[in-house]
Amino acid sequence: MYEHESLTYLYEWLHTEPFQANTKYRFIPHLMIGQDLSDTELADILGRLKLNTIEHEEIIDRMQLLYQLENGSWTVYDTFRLGKEQSQL
């Protein structure tokens, strides 16, 4: 795995004015797998993944600012489009 510079740039951009800079935690791009799995199930999945070469790419064209409702669910407050239409931010 390698860290993609676009993802790092996006992280740094989100931590500049007017957004609050929070350097309490180091930025580690990651993909979460195996949430709520037993140790045996997770070991099985990791073993299978190690046998494969995985190359995956995503295009991020928008980010959404969310807020949490009283019932614990989340809803979109605003959407920011990225890329060629970045001037609309």
Same structural domain for residues 11 and 50? yes
Structural domain harbouring 44: 1-58
Strand partners, 74: 68
Whether 8 and 51 share a structural domain: yes
Q: What confidence score (pLDDT) does residue 41 get?
A: 93
Q: Are residues 85 and 46 in the same domain?
A: no
Say whether both 14 and 28 belong to one domain: yes
- pLDDT given at position 6: 76
Whether 72 shows a pLDDT value over 80: the answer reads yes
**pLDDT by residue (tens digit) across 3-61?**
667 777 877 877 777 766 666 777 776 667 778 899 999 899 889 988 988 887 878 78
- My answer on whether 40 and 80 are in the same domain is no
Q: Return the residue matching tokens 């860290």.
A: 3
Q: Are residues 11 and 43 in the same domain?
A: yes
Secondary structure element (H or E) that encloses residue 78, with its range = strand 74-81
Structural domain tally of the chain?
2
Nearest partner of 82 among 48, 54, 55, 59, judged by Cα: 59
For the whole model, what pTM was predicted?
A: 0.42
Is 54 in the same domain as 77?
Answer: no
